[in-house]
Amino acid sequence: MTTTKSSFREWLVHCYPVIEDALEHSIQNTSLSCAPRVLREACSYALLSGGKRIRPALTLLACEACGGESKQALDAAVACEMIHAYSLVHDDLPCMDDDNLRRGKKTVHVAFGEAEAVLVGDALQATAFEILASQKDPDKAKKMLYHLARASGPSGMVGGQILDMEAEEKELSVEQVSAIHRAKTGALLEASLCLGAIAGNGNPEHWKEFGWCLGALFQATDDVLDATQSTEDLGKTAGKDAEAKKATLVSSCGLDGAHALVEQWAARAEAALESLSLTLHKDILLDLPRFLRDRCR
């Protein structure tokens, strides 16, 4: 899948069919294939209802950038997207963000029921680990499993979600909001790159700083988008952060402040890239902060 594309948007377009195909196959090639019908359907709905597929695209990108072939990273890419999909299903639950709309469609608990949505998340998490544990190379599998489990667990994504809930109706500093972002969003983006690096025989540790900056950038633009765009444009309910009195970068330093931080993190991400020894795709990686930043312009 080596390519001469130079923008991340082109990379996404390039990867999209491969990733969609791998995600669809994951329903047939894992425990999901022999799951009770309603669970399989609800998991497919959660996993295959659109989404930009940024995380799996990052996994394939990091793999090729380390000199690997992206097909070596496809399982890892699917596992990262499954963890992401499960987190969205649980985040949307009535007891959490209580969201009825996701990517312009009914959320899983609205379409299938609340208990079913809890179980869909649980099943997708287990299946992500099953996929990684099904890989041939035990060393790589173990490393990937370790990175993904830590990124998605209590000091990563799940911990970030708790911090985010605790921060409601509180005034937080930019540093505190950034720490929440790092755990809630950054950890999984970082892991998506690290798993790709492992697949491509690179060193996952080298990718952490870049991954961290991308995570900060990503969540910051999300905060800005939630405050400035319409529900129709977003494909999910807009203005939820302010309504729920969530601590966001916009609430802690205003729209201009949030925009300035986005620029700072983009610069730091670019600097982090310079310290990586890349075999390929430097252009696409350099374009990534711009891609994320441009969402909120």
Q: Of 290, 144, 123, nearest to 213 (Cα)?
A: 290
Integer Cα distance of 195 and 78 in angstroms: 11
Q: Rounded to the nearest whole angstrom, what is the least distance from the CB of residue 181 to its own copies in the complex?
A: 14
Work out the number of other CB atoms within 10 angstroms of the CB of residue 136: 7
* 295: Cα separation from own chain's centroid: 15
Q: Are strands 105-106 and 101-102 parallel, antiparallel or unpaired?
A: antiparallel
Q: Of 229, 289, 284, 225, nearest to 263 (Cα)?
A: 289
17 binds its own copies (CB under 8 A): no
Q: Which stretch binds its own copies (CB under 8 A): 18-26, 150-158, 240-248, 266-274?
A: 150-158
The residue within the footprint of its own copies, chosen from 152, 185, 192, 252 (CB under 8 A), is 152
Site string for its own copies, 86-115 (x = CB under 8 A): x---x--x-xx----------------xxx
* H helices present in the chain, as ranges: 8-29, 37-48, 54-65, 74-91, 108-112, 114-133, 138-152, 157-166, 174-181, 187-199, 208-228, 231-234, 240-243, 249-274, 282-294
The residue within the footprint of its own copies, chosen from 12, 23, 85, 163 (CB under 8 A), is 163
Is the alpha carbon torsion for 43, 48, 50, 55 positive or negative?
positive
Q: Which of residues 115-134 bind its own copies (CB under 8 A)?
A: 115-116, 118-119, 121-123, 125-127, 129-130, 132-134
26 binds its own copies (CB under 8 A): no
Question: In terms of CB distance, is 219 or 221 closer to its own copies?
Answer: 219
242 binds its own copies (CB under 8 A): no
Which residue type is seen at 173? S
Q: Rounded to the nearest whole angstrom, what is the least distance from the CB of residue 56 to its own copies in the complex?
A: 19
Question: In terms of CB distance, is 70 or 127 closer to its own copies?
Answer: 127
Q: Rounded to the nearest whole angstrom, what is the least distance from the CB of residue 132 to its own copies in the complex?
A: 7
Phi, psi dihedral angles at 295 (to 5 degrees):
-60, -30
Contact assessment for residue 180 and residue 247, using Cβ atoms and an 8 Å cutoff? yes
Q: Rounded to the nearest whole angstrom, what is the least distance from the CB of residue 214 to its own copies in the complex?
A: 21
Q: Rounded to the nearest whole angstrom, what is the least distance from the CB of residue 104 to its own copies in the complex?
A: 24
Integer Cα distance of 100 and 105 in angstroms: 8
Question: In terms of CB distance, is 13 or 165 closer to its own copies?
Answer: 165
Question: In terms of CB distance, is 114 or 243 closer to its own copies?
Answer: 114
The residue within the footprint of its own copies, chosen from 26, 161, 185, 248 (CB under 8 A), is 161
72 binds its own copies (CB under 8 A): no
Q: How many residues bind its own copies (CB under 8 A)?
A: 54
Q: End-to-end distance of the chain based on CA atoms, in angstroms?
A: 31
Q: Which residues bind its own copies (CB under 8 A)?
A: 30-36, 38-40, 43, 86, 90, 93, 95-96, 113-116, 118-119, 121-123, 125-127, 129-130, 132-135, 138-139, 141-142, 145-146, 149-150, 152-156, 158-159, 161-163, 165-166
